[in-house]
Amino acid sequence: MYDTKVWLGRDEMVVRGRGAAFDSALKLDLVKWLLCIAVLVAPLRAYRVTEVAGFNLSLFRLTWLMAMLASSLRWLRKARAGGLVVPIKIALPVWFMTIALLVSGFSANITIGDTISRLGVRMFGFLFIILFSILLLCNKAYICLMTRAFVFSALLPVAIGIYQWFMYWNTGSIPPLPMEQYSVVIEAPVNKTVVLYAPMALPRIGSTLLEPNYFGIFLASVILIVLSKLVYGSLGPRHAALKILSWLFLAILVAVFLCTFSLSAMFGLSLGLCILGWCTLKYQRLVRSLIMSLVVLLLFLVVQHRVSIHTGGSSLIEIVSQRVTMRWESAPDLFGREKFFIEAFEEFAKNPFVGGGAGVLAHLTSGRLSSAHNTFLTIMSEQGLLGLVPNITFFILVAISLYRKNRIYLWHGDRVMAGLSAGLLAATVSALGAAQFYDALYSYDASWVLMAIAAACAALPLGKTECTSSQGHTRSTNG
Protein backbone atom coordinates (compact mmCIF):
# COMPACT_ATOMS: atom_id res chain seq x y z
CA MET A 1 0.00 0.00 0.00
CA TYR A 2 1.02 3.59 -0.33
CA ASP A 3 0.82 6.56 1.99
CA THR A 4 -2.48 8.39 1.68
CA LYS A 5 -0.85 11.78 2.06
CA VAL A 6 -0.66 13.06 -1.47
CA TRP A 7 1.35 15.75 -3.17
CA LEU A 8 -0.97 17.68 -5.44
CA GLY A 9 -0.42 20.40 -7.98
CA ARG A 10 -2.62 23.32 -8.89
CA ASP A 11 -4.58 21.17 -11.30
CA GLU A 12 -6.26 19.11 -8.55
CA MET A 13 -8.85 20.00 -5.94
CA VAL A 14 -8.64 18.19 -2.59
CA VAL A 15 -10.76 18.22 0.51
CA ARG A 16 -8.70 16.57 3.24
CA GLY A 17 -10.21 14.89 6.23
CA ARG A 18 -11.19 11.45 7.43
CA GLY A 19 -11.22 10.07 3.88
CA ALA A 20 -7.88 8.28 4.34
CA ALA A 21 -9.77 5.29 5.69
CA PHE A 22 -11.39 4.83 2.30
CA ASP A 23 -8.11 4.80 0.36
CA SER A 24 -7.39 1.19 1.20
CA ALA A 25 -7.69 -0.86 -1.97
CA LEU A 26 -10.68 -2.87 -3.11
CA LYS A 27 -12.83 -2.49 -0.01
CA LEU A 28 -15.95 -3.16 -2.03
CA ASP A 29 -15.68 -6.68 -3.39
CA LEU A 30 -18.75 -6.01 -5.56
CA VAL A 31 -16.93 -3.26 -7.43
CA LYS A 32 -13.86 -5.47 -7.86
CA TRP A 33 -15.76 -8.34 -9.39
CA LEU A 34 -17.96 -6.16 -11.58
CA LEU A 35 -14.88 -4.40 -12.93
CA CYS A 36 -13.18 -7.71 -13.62
CA ILE A 37 -16.19 -9.06 -15.49
CA ALA A 38 -16.67 -5.82 -17.45
CA VAL A 39 -13.06 -5.62 -18.64
CA LEU A 40 -12.87 -9.36 -19.39
CA VAL A 41 -15.89 -9.22 -21.72
CA ALA A 42 -14.94 -5.91 -23.37
CA PRO A 43 -13.41 -7.58 -26.50
CA LEU A 44 -16.63 -9.56 -27.13
CA ARG A 45 -17.80 -6.95 -29.62
CA ALA A 46 -19.67 -9.58 -31.64
CA TYR A 47 -22.30 -10.03 -28.94
CA ARG A 48 -25.03 -7.93 -27.43
CA VAL A 49 -27.64 -8.45 -24.75
CA THR A 50 -30.26 -6.09 -26.17
CA GLU A 51 -30.63 -2.94 -28.24
CA VAL A 52 -32.09 0.43 -27.23
CA ALA A 53 -32.77 3.03 -29.95
CA GLY A 54 -30.06 1.59 -32.19
CA PHE A 55 -27.54 1.44 -29.34
CA ASN A 56 -26.24 -2.06 -28.60
CA LEU A 57 -26.19 -2.88 -24.89
CA SER A 58 -23.37 -5.39 -24.68
CA LEU A 59 -22.52 -7.40 -21.61
CA PHE A 60 -19.57 -5.06 -21.07
CA ARG A 61 -21.70 -1.93 -21.05
CA LEU A 62 -24.31 -3.39 -18.71
CA THR A 63 -21.68 -4.72 -16.28
CA TRP A 64 -19.71 -1.48 -16.47
CA LEU A 65 -22.81 0.54 -15.57
CA MET A 66 -23.40 -1.69 -12.54
CA ALA A 67 -19.77 -1.24 -11.48
CA MET A 68 -20.16 2.51 -11.88
CA LEU A 69 -23.25 2.58 -9.66
CA ALA A 70 -21.59 0.45 -6.99
CA SER A 71 -18.42 2.52 -7.07
CA SER A 72 -20.42 5.75 -6.93
CA LEU A 73 -21.58 4.79 -3.44
CA ARG A 74 -17.95 4.56 -2.33
CA TRP A 75 -17.24 7.88 -4.07
CA LEU A 76 -20.10 9.62 -2.23
CA ARG A 77 -18.98 8.21 1.14
CA LYS A 78 -15.48 9.41 0.46
CA ALA A 79 -16.73 12.86 -0.53
CA ARG A 80 -18.70 13.19 2.71
CA ALA A 81 -15.67 12.04 4.69
CA GLY A 82 -13.55 14.77 3.11
CA GLY A 83 -11.01 12.69 1.21
CA LEU A 84 -12.11 13.37 -2.35
CA VAL A 85 -9.51 14.04 -5.04
CA VAL A 86 -10.67 15.58 -8.32
CA PRO A 87 -7.95 15.53 -11.02
CA ILE A 88 -9.15 18.58 -12.93
CA LYS A 89 -6.30 18.68 -15.45
CA ILE A 90 -7.14 15.25 -16.90
CA ALA A 91 -10.92 15.44 -16.43
CA LEU A 92 -11.50 18.92 -17.91
CA PRO A 93 -10.66 18.01 -21.54
CA VAL A 94 -13.11 15.09 -21.32
CA TRP A 95 -15.91 17.53 -20.46
CA PHE A 96 -15.05 19.65 -23.50
CA MET A 97 -14.86 16.52 -25.67
CA THR A 98 -18.39 15.64 -24.53
CA ILE A 99 -19.69 19.17 -25.18
CA ALA A 100 -18.21 19.13 -28.70
CA LEU A 101 -19.84 15.76 -29.33
CA LEU A 102 -23.21 17.11 -28.24
CA VAL A 103 -22.85 20.13 -30.53
CA SER A 104 -22.02 17.86 -33.47
CA GLY A 105 -25.28 16.00 -32.83
CA PHE A 106 -27.25 19.00 -34.13
CA SER A 107 -26.58 17.96 -37.71
CA ALA A 108 -28.73 17.46 -40.77
CA ASN A 109 -26.91 14.18 -41.40
CA ILE A 110 -27.65 12.65 -38.00
CA THR A 111 -29.99 9.99 -39.43
CA ILE A 112 -27.57 8.73 -42.09
CA GLY A 113 -26.22 5.22 -41.59
CA ASP A 114 -25.19 4.40 -38.04
CA THR A 115 -24.41 8.03 -37.11
CA ILE A 116 -26.79 8.05 -34.13
CA SER A 117 -25.37 4.77 -32.84
CA ARG A 118 -21.77 6.01 -33.12
CA LEU A 119 -22.78 9.21 -31.37
CA GLY A 120 -24.27 7.19 -28.51
CA VAL A 121 -21.18 5.00 -28.23
CA ARG A 122 -18.91 8.03 -27.91
CA MET A 123 -21.18 9.73 -25.41
CA PHE A 124 -21.22 6.57 -23.31
CA GLY A 125 -17.45 6.27 -23.63
CA PHE A 126 -16.59 9.84 -22.65
CA LEU A 127 -18.96 10.09 -19.70
CA PHE A 128 -19.39 6.59 -18.33
CA ILE A 129 -16.02 5.02 -19.12
CA ILE A 130 -13.23 7.60 -19.27
CA LEU A 131 -14.63 10.26 -16.92
CA PHE A 132 -15.90 7.59 -14.51
CA SER A 133 -12.44 6.00 -14.41
CA ILE A 134 -10.70 9.32 -13.80
CA LEU A 135 -13.01 10.30 -10.95
CA LEU A 136 -13.72 6.97 -9.26
CA LEU A 137 -10.93 4.55 -10.12
CA CYS A 138 -7.86 6.67 -9.32
CA ASN A 139 -6.45 3.95 -7.09
CA LYS A 140 -3.34 1.84 -7.58
CA ALA A 141 -5.08 -1.40 -6.73
CA TYR A 142 -7.97 -0.77 -9.13
CA ILE A 143 -5.61 0.26 -11.93
CA CYS A 144 -3.48 -2.87 -11.47
CA LEU A 145 -6.63 -5.00 -11.35
CA MET A 146 -8.07 -3.49 -14.54
CA THR A 147 -4.75 -3.80 -16.39
CA ARG A 148 -4.46 -7.47 -15.43
CA ALA A 149 -8.05 -8.10 -16.52
CA PHE A 150 -7.39 -6.26 -19.80
CA VAL A 151 -4.52 -8.66 -20.58
CA PHE A 152 -6.57 -11.74 -19.64
CA SER A 153 -9.47 -10.49 -21.77
CA ALA A 154 -7.40 -11.40 -24.84
CA LEU A 155 -7.49 -15.13 -24.04
CA LEU A 156 -10.93 -15.93 -25.49
CA PRO A 157 -10.60 -13.81 -28.67
CA VAL A 158 -7.15 -15.29 -29.31
CA ALA A 159 -8.42 -18.86 -28.81
CA ILE A 160 -11.35 -18.26 -31.18
CA GLY A 161 -9.04 -16.58 -33.69
CA ILE A 162 -6.68 -19.58 -33.70
CA TYR A 163 -9.66 -21.91 -34.14
CA GLN A 164 -10.96 -19.86 -37.09
CA TRP A 165 -7.52 -19.84 -38.73
CA PHE A 166 -6.99 -23.60 -38.51
CA MET A 167 -10.55 -24.40 -39.62
CA TYR A 168 -10.12 -22.17 -42.66
CA TRP A 169 -6.92 -23.89 -43.77
CA ASN A 170 -8.35 -27.38 -43.11
CA THR A 171 -11.83 -26.96 -44.55
CA GLY A 172 -11.68 -23.83 -46.67
CA SER A 173 -14.50 -22.20 -44.72
CA ILE A 174 -14.77 -20.16 -41.55
CA PRO A 175 -16.74 -21.64 -38.64
CA PRO A 176 -19.39 -19.44 -37.00
CA LEU A 177 -18.69 -17.78 -33.69
CA PRO A 178 -19.83 -19.58 -30.53
CA MET A 179 -23.33 -18.58 -29.33
CA GLU A 180 -24.09 -17.08 -32.72
CA GLN A 181 -27.71 -16.46 -31.67
CA TYR A 182 -26.47 -13.54 -29.54
CA SER A 183 -24.26 -12.09 -32.27
CA VAL A 184 -24.84 -8.61 -33.67
CA VAL A 185 -24.31 -10.04 -37.18
CA ILE A 186 -26.56 -13.10 -36.92
CA GLU A 187 -28.30 -12.13 -40.16
CA ALA A 188 -24.99 -11.73 -42.04
CA PRO A 189 -22.99 -14.47 -43.74
CA VAL A 190 -20.63 -16.46 -41.56
CA ASN A 191 -17.61 -15.16 -43.47
CA LYS A 192 -18.46 -11.68 -42.16
CA THR A 193 -16.30 -12.55 -39.14
CA VAL A 194 -13.25 -12.97 -41.39
CA VAL A 195 -12.16 -10.85 -44.32
CA LEU A 196 -10.55 -12.64 -47.26
CA TYR A 197 -7.91 -10.29 -48.56
CA ALA A 198 -7.79 -10.41 -52.37
CA PRO A 199 -6.05 -11.35 -54.56
CA MET A 200 -4.27 -13.85 -52.29
CA ALA A 201 -7.46 -14.90 -50.45
CA LEU A 202 -5.71 -14.59 -47.11
CA PRO A 203 -7.96 -15.02 -44.09
CA ARG A 204 -7.75 -11.91 -41.92
CA ILE A 205 -8.93 -13.03 -38.52
CA GLY A 206 -11.37 -10.76 -36.69
CA SER A 207 -12.44 -13.17 -33.93
CA THR A 208 -14.96 -11.71 -31.46
CA LEU A 209 -14.10 -8.15 -32.50
CA LEU A 210 -15.47 -8.95 -35.99
CA GLU A 211 -13.06 -6.56 -37.72
CA PRO A 212 -9.41 -7.57 -38.35
CA ASN A 213 -8.11 -4.03 -37.79
CA TYR A 214 -9.92 -3.75 -34.45
CA PHE A 215 -8.55 -7.14 -33.44
CA GLY A 216 -5.02 -6.20 -34.50
CA ILE A 217 -5.05 -2.87 -32.66
CA PHE A 218 -6.39 -4.54 -29.52
CA LEU A 219 -3.72 -7.27 -29.66
CA ALA A 220 -0.99 -4.65 -30.17
CA SER A 221 -2.03 -2.98 -26.90
CA VAL A 222 -2.00 -6.27 -25.00
CA ILE A 223 1.39 -7.22 -26.49
CA LEU A 224 2.95 -3.96 -25.32
CA ILE A 225 1.55 -4.26 -21.79
CA VAL A 226 2.76 -7.87 -21.42
CA LEU A 227 6.15 -7.01 -22.91
CA SER A 228 6.51 -4.05 -20.58
CA LYS A 229 5.81 -6.27 -17.57
CA LEU A 230 8.51 -8.69 -18.71
CA VAL A 231 11.01 -5.99 -19.63
CA TYR A 232 10.69 -4.19 -16.31
CA GLY A 233 11.26 -7.40 -14.38
CA SER A 234 8.15 -7.09 -12.21
CA LEU A 235 8.06 -10.90 -12.08
CA GLY A 236 10.77 -11.93 -9.60
CA PRO A 237 12.90 -15.10 -9.52
CA ARG A 238 10.20 -16.86 -7.49
CA HIS A 239 7.81 -16.50 -10.44
CA ALA A 240 9.90 -18.42 -12.99
CA ALA A 241 6.96 -20.55 -14.16
CA LEU A 242 4.75 -17.49 -14.57
CA LYS A 243 7.51 -15.76 -16.53
CA ILE A 244 7.78 -18.72 -18.93
CA LEU A 245 4.00 -18.73 -19.40
CA SER A 246 4.11 -14.98 -20.06
CA TRP A 247 6.73 -15.43 -22.78
CA LEU A 248 4.67 -18.22 -24.34
CA PHE A 249 1.52 -16.09 -24.21
CA LEU A 250 3.42 -13.20 -25.79
CA ALA A 251 4.60 -15.43 -28.66
CA ILE A 252 1.03 -16.62 -29.29
CA LEU A 253 -0.24 -13.04 -29.22
CA VAL A 254 2.32 -12.00 -31.83
CA ALA A 255 1.44 -14.96 -34.08
CA VAL A 256 -2.30 -14.18 -33.97
CA PHE A 257 -1.56 -10.46 -34.37
CA LEU A 258 0.28 -11.15 -37.62
CA CYS A 259 -2.74 -13.15 -38.83
CA THR A 260 -4.85 -9.98 -38.76
CA PHE A 261 -2.64 -8.51 -41.52
CA SER A 262 -3.51 -5.04 -40.26
CA LEU A 263 -0.88 -2.54 -41.39
CA SER A 264 -2.51 0.14 -39.23
CA ALA A 265 -2.05 -2.06 -36.16
CA MET A 266 1.51 -2.91 -37.19
CA PHE A 267 2.33 0.77 -37.54
CA GLY A 268 0.86 1.42 -34.10
CA LEU A 269 2.80 -1.48 -32.58
CA SER A 270 6.04 -0.13 -34.07
CA LEU A 271 5.40 3.25 -32.44
CA GLY A 272 4.57 1.56 -29.14
CA LEU A 273 7.82 -0.44 -29.22
CA CYS A 274 9.75 2.79 -29.86
CA ILE A 275 8.08 4.42 -26.84
CA LEU A 276 8.79 1.37 -24.67
CA GLY A 277 12.41 1.41 -25.78
CA TRP A 278 12.64 5.14 -25.07
CA CYS A 279 11.28 4.67 -21.55
CA THR A 280 13.91 2.00 -20.80
CA LEU A 281 16.83 3.54 -22.70
CA LYS A 282 18.77 4.73 -19.64
CA TYR A 283 18.64 1.43 -17.84
CA GLN A 284 21.06 -1.21 -19.11
CA ARG A 285 19.30 -4.19 -17.55
CA LEU A 286 15.97 -3.20 -19.02
CA VAL A 287 17.50 -2.63 -22.44
CA ARG A 288 18.97 -6.15 -22.35
CA SER A 289 15.55 -7.54 -21.47
CA LEU A 290 13.93 -5.69 -24.36
CA ILE A 291 16.57 -6.94 -26.82
CA MET A 292 16.13 -10.49 -25.54
CA SER A 293 12.38 -10.30 -26.03
CA LEU A 294 12.80 -9.14 -29.62
CA VAL A 295 15.30 -11.93 -30.31
CA VAL A 296 12.90 -14.55 -28.92
CA LEU A 297 10.06 -13.24 -31.11
CA LEU A 298 12.34 -13.26 -34.15
CA LEU A 299 13.41 -16.86 -33.44
CA PHE A 300 9.74 -17.84 -33.19
CA LEU A 301 9.05 -16.42 -36.66
CA VAL A 302 12.13 -18.15 -38.11
CA VAL A 303 11.13 -21.53 -36.63
CA GLN A 304 7.58 -21.13 -37.94
CA HIS A 305 8.99 -20.29 -41.37
CA ARG A 306 11.17 -23.42 -41.41
CA VAL A 307 8.28 -25.62 -40.29
CA SER A 308 6.05 -24.22 -43.06
CA ILE A 309 8.68 -25.18 -45.66
CA HIS A 310 8.55 -28.83 -44.59
CA THR A 311 4.76 -28.93 -44.21
CA GLY A 312 4.05 -27.13 -47.48
CA GLY A 313 2.10 -24.33 -45.81
CA SER A 314 2.59 -20.57 -45.92
CA SER A 315 4.79 -18.90 -43.35
CA LEU A 316 3.70 -15.78 -41.50
CA ILE A 317 6.76 -13.93 -42.78
CA GLU A 318 5.84 -14.62 -46.42
CA ILE A 319 2.19 -13.72 -45.95
CA VAL A 320 2.95 -10.46 -44.16
CA SER A 321 5.57 -9.50 -46.76
CA GLN A 322 3.04 -10.11 -49.56
CA ARG A 323 0.48 -8.01 -47.73
CA VAL A 324 2.98 -5.16 -47.24
CA THR A 325 4.03 -5.32 -50.89
CA MET A 326 0.44 -5.18 -52.08
CA ARG A 327 -0.41 -2.28 -49.81
CA TRP A 328 2.77 -0.45 -50.78
CA GLU A 329 1.63 -0.44 -54.40
CA SER A 330 -1.29 1.74 -53.32
CA ALA A 331 0.97 4.17 -51.39
CA PRO A 332 0.73 7.02 -53.96
CA ASP A 333 -2.92 7.62 -52.98
CA LEU A 334 -2.19 7.14 -49.25
CA PHE A 335 -3.33 3.50 -49.32
CA GLY A 336 -6.72 4.43 -50.74
CA ARG A 337 -7.37 7.06 -48.08
CA GLU A 338 -6.48 10.21 -50.02
CA LYS A 339 -10.06 11.10 -50.93
CA PHE A 340 -11.16 10.64 -47.30
CA PHE A 341 -8.39 12.91 -46.00
CA ILE A 342 -9.07 15.61 -48.61
CA GLU A 343 -12.81 15.56 -47.94
CA ALA A 344 -12.19 15.88 -44.18
CA PHE A 345 -10.10 19.02 -44.69
CA GLU A 346 -12.67 20.49 -47.07
CA GLU A 347 -15.48 19.99 -44.54
CA PHE A 348 -13.30 21.49 -41.83
CA ALA A 349 -12.58 24.55 -44.01
CA LYS A 350 -16.32 25.18 -44.42
CA ASN A 351 -16.86 25.48 -40.66
CA PRO A 352 -13.54 25.36 -38.76
CA PHE A 353 -14.92 26.13 -35.30
CA VAL A 354 -17.71 23.54 -34.83
CA GLY A 355 -17.28 21.42 -37.96
CA GLY A 356 -19.93 20.07 -40.29
CA GLY A 357 -21.70 17.94 -37.68
CA ALA A 358 -22.06 14.21 -37.13
CA GLY A 359 -22.45 12.20 -40.32
CA VAL A 360 -20.98 14.83 -42.62
CA LEU A 361 -18.62 12.30 -44.26
CA ALA A 362 -21.19 9.52 -44.65
CA HIS A 363 -21.45 10.05 -48.42
CA LEU A 364 -17.88 8.72 -48.79
CA THR A 365 -19.06 5.26 -47.72
CA SER A 366 -22.42 5.28 -49.53
CA GLY A 367 -24.23 6.38 -46.36
CA ARG A 368 -22.98 3.55 -44.12
CA LEU A 369 -20.84 5.54 -41.69
CA SER A 370 -19.10 8.89 -41.38
CA SER A 371 -15.36 8.38 -41.21
CA ALA A 372 -12.19 9.83 -42.72
CA HIS A 373 -10.16 6.66 -41.97
CA ASN A 374 -8.39 8.79 -39.38
CA THR A 375 -9.85 9.39 -35.94
CA PHE A 376 -8.63 12.96 -35.55
CA LEU A 377 -9.53 14.00 -39.11
CA THR A 378 -13.02 12.60 -38.52
CA ILE A 379 -13.29 14.68 -35.34
CA MET A 380 -11.89 17.74 -37.14
CA SER A 381 -14.44 17.52 -39.95
CA GLU A 382 -17.43 16.77 -37.70
CA GLN A 383 -16.61 18.82 -34.58
CA GLY A 384 -14.08 21.39 -35.76
CA LEU A 385 -11.59 22.95 -33.38
CA LEU A 386 -14.19 22.68 -30.60
CA GLY A 387 -13.67 18.93 -30.56
CA LEU A 388 -10.17 18.54 -32.03
CA VAL A 389 -8.34 20.72 -29.47
CA PRO A 390 -9.63 18.99 -26.29
CA ASN A 391 -9.07 15.54 -27.85
CA ILE A 392 -5.44 16.30 -28.65
CA THR A 393 -4.98 18.03 -25.29
CA PHE A 394 -6.36 15.01 -23.43
CA PHE A 395 -3.93 12.57 -25.01
CA ILE A 396 -0.96 14.91 -24.61
CA LEU A 397 -1.72 15.30 -20.89
CA VAL A 398 -2.17 11.54 -20.44
CA ALA A 399 1.08 10.76 -22.29
CA ILE A 400 3.12 13.34 -20.35
CA SER A 401 1.69 12.23 -17.02
CA LEU A 402 2.32 8.53 -17.72
CA TYR A 403 5.91 9.25 -18.75
CA ARG A 404 6.53 11.34 -15.60
CA LYS A 405 5.08 8.62 -13.43
CA ASN A 406 7.28 6.03 -15.14
CA ARG A 407 10.36 8.12 -14.29
CA ILE A 408 9.26 8.67 -10.69
CA TYR A 409 8.37 5.03 -10.04
CA LEU A 410 11.71 3.93 -11.48
CA TRP A 411 13.50 6.45 -9.28
CA HIS A 412 11.80 4.96 -6.22
CA GLY A 413 12.41 1.38 -7.34
CA ASP A 414 8.75 0.48 -7.85
CA ARG A 415 9.16 -1.71 -10.94
CA VAL A 416 5.55 -2.90 -10.92
CA MET A 417 4.08 0.58 -11.34
CA ALA A 418 6.98 1.69 -13.56
CA GLY A 419 6.29 -1.20 -15.93
CA LEU A 420 2.55 -0.61 -15.79
CA SER A 421 2.84 3.10 -16.61
CA ALA A 422 5.33 2.41 -19.43
CA GLY A 423 3.10 -0.33 -20.84
CA LEU A 424 0.01 1.88 -20.76
CA LEU A 425 1.93 4.73 -22.37
CA ALA A 426 3.21 2.47 -25.16
CA ALA A 427 -0.25 0.92 -25.68
CA THR A 428 -1.89 4.36 -25.84
CA VAL A 429 0.65 5.63 -28.37
CA SER A 430 0.14 2.43 -30.37
CA ALA A 431 -3.63 3.01 -30.50
CA LEU A 432 -3.08 6.64 -31.49
CA GLY A 433 -0.68 5.59 -34.24
CA ALA A 434 -3.14 3.07 -35.66
CA ALA A 435 -5.86 5.73 -35.51
CA GLN A 436 -4.00 7.76 -38.13
CA PHE A 437 -4.93 5.22 -40.82
CA TYR A 438 -8.02 3.56 -39.35
CA ASP A 439 -10.80 5.27 -37.44
CA ALA A 440 -10.96 2.78 -34.57
CA LEU A 441 -9.99 4.75 -31.46
CA TYR A 442 -13.58 5.46 -30.40
CA SER A 443 -15.29 2.53 -32.09
CA TYR A 444 -15.15 -0.52 -29.79
CA ASP A 445 -15.32 -1.23 -26.06
CA ALA A 446 -11.81 -2.65 -25.58
CA SER A 447 -10.33 0.59 -26.90
CA TRP A 448 -12.39 2.59 -24.42
CA VAL A 449 -11.14 0.34 -21.61
CA LEU A 450 -7.51 1.00 -22.58
CA MET A 451 -8.08 4.76 -22.60
CA ALA A 452 -9.90 4.55 -19.27
CA ILE A 453 -7.05 2.65 -17.57
CA ALA A 454 -4.43 4.98 -19.06
CA ALA A 455 -6.36 8.08 -17.99
CA ALA A 456 -6.90 6.73 -14.46
CA CYS A 457 -3.19 5.93 -14.12
CA ALA A 458 -2.28 9.38 -15.47
CA ALA A 459 -4.60 11.03 -12.94
CA LEU A 460 -3.30 8.93 -10.04
CA PRO A 461 -1.89 11.29 -7.36
CA LEU A 462 1.66 10.60 -6.24
CA GLY A 463 2.28 10.07 -2.54
CA LYS A 464 5.05 11.70 -0.56
CA THR A 465 5.95 8.20 0.54
CA GLU A 466 5.77 5.58 -2.18
CA CYS A 467 6.11 1.84 -2.01
CA THR A 468 9.61 1.49 -3.39
CA SER A 469 10.38 -2.20 -3.72
CA SER A 470 8.82 -5.63 -3.87
CA GLN A 471 10.26 -6.36 -0.42
CA GLY A 472 8.10 -3.63 1.04
CA HIS A 473 10.86 -1.15 1.84
CA THR A 474 9.68 2.47 1.82
CA ARG A 475 11.80 5.51 1.16
CA SER A 476 10.75 8.99 2.16
CA THR A 477 11.03 11.81 -0.33
CA ASN A 478 10.44 15.53 -0.20
CA GLY A 479 7.55 15.29 -2.70
Q: What is the mean pLDDT of the chain?
A: 77
Amino acid at 362: A
Is pLDDT of 358 > 70?
yes
**Ranges of each domain in the chain:** 6-470
User: In the prediction, which pLDDT does 28 show?
Assistant: 44
- When pLDDT is averaged across residues 443-460 and rounded to a whole number, the result is 92
Contact 341, 436 (CB under 8 A): no
- When pLDDT is averaged across residues 471-476 and rounded to a whole number, the result is 37
State the Rg of the chain over Cα. Answer: 22
Task: Work out the pLDDT band at 460, boundaries 50, 70, 90.
Answer: confident
More confident of the two residues 431 and 116: 431
More confident of the two residues 198 and 474: 198
More confident of the two residues 209 and 285: 209
More confident of the two residues 111 and 325: 111
Contact 344, 381 (CB under 8 A): yes
Contact 210, 202 (CB under 8 A): no
Pairing of strands 202-205, 12-15: unpaired
More confident of the two residues 474 and 284: 284
User: What is the tens place of the pLDDT at every residue in 154-207?
Assistant: 999 999 999 888 888 787 777 778 776 666 654 444 444 455 554 455 678 888
If phi over 0 gives left and psi between -120 and 50 gives alpha, with beta otherwise, what is residue 123? alpha
User: In the prediction, which pLDDT does 171 show?
Assistant: 79
Please state, in angstroms and as integers, the Cα–Cα distance from residue 172 to each residue in 122, 167, 189, 418, 469, following that order. 38, 7, 15, 46, 53
Is pLDDT of 467 > 60?
no
* CA pair distance 60, 39, nearest whole angstrom: 7
Is pLDDT of 394 > 90?
yes
Is pLDDT of 471 > 90?
no
Pairing of strands 202-205, 55-57: unpaired
